Amino acid sequence: MITGYAHFAQLAESLQWDEKAIDFSADREAWPRLTGAENARVLGLVAGFVIAETSVSGQLGAYEAAAPDESMAAVFQAQARDEARHARFFDRVSAEVACVPGELPAQRRDALRAHVGDELVDLFEHRLPATARRLAEDHAGLTAAVGLYHMVIEGVVLLAGQHAMLDALEGLSVGLPGVRKGMELVLRDERWHIGFGSRVVQSAAIGREEADALLEQGETAAKVWGDLITTEAIETAVRQHRRRLKAAGIKFW
């Protein structure tokens, strides 16, 4: 029998994929034919993912170090491998499909910051790293840190963005099959990341203040995409967040 968190590590192993194997030739040809509005929406979402995935992939070391046992630590490590792959995938999209200028990923990322709002940059480049730094100093903060990373950032912000991207791709005047393929694979990984985070939160005793903060953070965080995501999509994401928190045994007063 598999105990603890080992099944998440096994699942991760079985879902590995290679971002270099995705063929962008049709996407590259189609990109210049996007309308102005389509280009702005898709590029804005890609910019958000480049910034988000680069940031999240760098923060999991503190989580791994704070894990109370090896089985949980191994899952954070498996997740870090996924997030690094996601960051490379979105960087490939920005460089090879959208032709964002810059020799290096960091240069392209600098160019992409202009396509998203300050709140998104602040969440990923300041608030999440600050939480990981606090966690590195005080391992007792693991549940709250998982709450921000897995439940709020992945469960609300990124999931809402990924669904918005799939919707946008569906409605485009031209097809972007490579981008679509990669998005589906990213979403598949994110589902187990969120499941894992919910399990960590479920195993911990969460007090009233922490529960309220998680709910409120979700409601605020969903708005960081600005006009790139519809109000309905934000409402859906927040509803699912509330349901996931309840399923993890968190009570709301």
CB-nearer residue toward Fe ion: 27 or 190: 190
CB-nearer residue toward Fe ion: 30 or 164: 164
CB-nearer residue toward Fe ion: 60 or 214: 60
One-letter amino acid of 67: A
CB-nearer residue toward Fe ion: 153 or 228: 153
- Report yes or no: 238 and 222 within 8 Å, Cβ to Cβ: yes
CB-nearer residue toward Fe ion: 34 or 45: 45
SS (H, E, C) the chain: CCCCCHHHHHHHHHCCCCHHHCCCHHHHHHHHHCCHHHHHHHHHHHHHHHHHHHHHHHHHHHHHHHCCCHHHHHHHHHHHHHHHHHHHHHHHHHHHHCCCCCCCHHHHHHHHHHHCCHHHHHHHHHHHHHHHHHHHHCHHHHHHHHHHHHHHHHHHHHHHHHHHHHHHHHCCCCCCHHHHHHHHHHHHHHHHHHHHHHHHHHCCCCCHHHHHHHHHHHHHHHHHHHHHCCHHHHHHHHHHHHHHHHHCCCCCC
Minimum CB separation of residue 192 from Fe ion in Å reads 9
User: Which parts of this chain interact with Fe ion (CB under 5 A)?
Assistant: 53, 83, 86, 154, 190, 193
Minimum CB separation of residue 198 from Fe ion in Å reads 13
Minimum CB separation of residue 154 from Fe ion in Å reads 5
Minimum CB separation of residue 194 from Fe ion in Å reads 8
Minimum CB separation of residue 83 from Fe ion in Å reads 5
CB-nearer residue toward Fe ion: 30 or 142: 142
CB-nearer residue toward Fe ion: 19 or 53: 53
- Report yes or no: 61 and 129 within 8 Å, Cβ to Cβ: no
Euclidean distance between CA atoms 154 and 208, whole angstroms? 22
Minimum CB separation of residue 108 from Fe ion in Å reads 18
Minimum CB separation of residue 185 from Fe ion in Å reads 10
Distances (CA, A) of 123 to 146, 222, 225: 15, 11, 11
